[in-house]
Amino acid sequence: MDLRLEGVGHAYDTVTVLEDITLDVPSGHIVCIVGPSGCGKSTLLRFIGGLEQPTKGRVVQVGSPPPGSLNPLTYVFQDFAILPWRTVEGNVSLVLEDHGIKGSETREIISDVLARTNLTGFEKALPKQLSGGMKQRVAIARALAVRPAVMLMDEPLSALDSQTRELLMDDLVGLWTRTPFTSVYVTHNLAEAVRLGHSIVVLSRRPGKIREIVTLDKPLEDRQLGDTDLEKTQKHLWSLLREEARTADTELLDG
């Protein structure tokens, strides 16, 4: 299933947040969205997920979700959003319960997604026993359990330290390489964007408009720390964002 954004714009009273966002998200691609603080990245993700409706334009789902998809669109959040009183397998099974999935089918799905996210052996662990990286793996496993057409990832690694972030990026690349998935991935971190994105959408400061879409042809599995091509792309992204990021930062401080 592909996604198509057609002229999406939004205003809160007299404040225009987003303007004329037209974008295609092809199946099997990770599309990263970057931009200065307050440019509407997370708002755009809510429109894509159907949590809110834009005041202009529309988001269209093109084609059918994958076979057996329980939720065509599912979120992975910055703060993990896992229940502290449930074990790892209990957190994953939560999204299956409303669909009436029980017994051996539940166990099979949990076993599969925990294996794919390197969590096999931690089924009975509680969140308080897990590191930040493992908690986010649980959140990703839970998202995968509903066989989504598109994963909507809102700053999923920003709460993690730099070493854990690198490990999780490696995990996401491995996960995509084994079973390609579709994602819209919001991030402030340009290193994440060039490591994970098949394309990177650069938004301007408010009202958020598409300044440029940068396409990266190098396969995800071939992208490594210190890669000169990635560093060049990252510098280009920063050149687009630097002045607007400085202005946005001043606005936030003044506010």
Question: pLDDT tens, position by position, for the chain (255 residues)?
Answer: 999 999 999 998 888 999 999 999 999 999 999 999 889 999 999 999 999 999 999 999 999 898 889 999 999 988 888 999 999 999 999 999 888 888 899 999 999 999 999 999 999 999 999 999 999 999 999 999 999 999 999 999 988 999 999 999 999 999 999 999 999 999 999 999 999 999 999 999 989 999 999 999 999 999 987 889 899 999 999 999 988 878 766 665 443
Q: Using an 8 Å Cβ cutoff, are 203 and 8 in contact?
A: no
Residue whose entry in the numeric block shows the structure tokens 């994958």: 66
Domains and CATH numbers, the chain: 2-65+149-254 (3.40.50.300), 82-148 (no CATH)
Distance CA 148, CA 142 (A): 10
31 pairs with which residues across the strands? Answer: 184, 199
Please say whether the dihedral angle defined by the alpha carbons of residues 43, 48, 54 and 57, taken in this order, is positive or negative: positive
Confirm if 153 and 132 have CB atoms less than 8 A apart. Answer: no
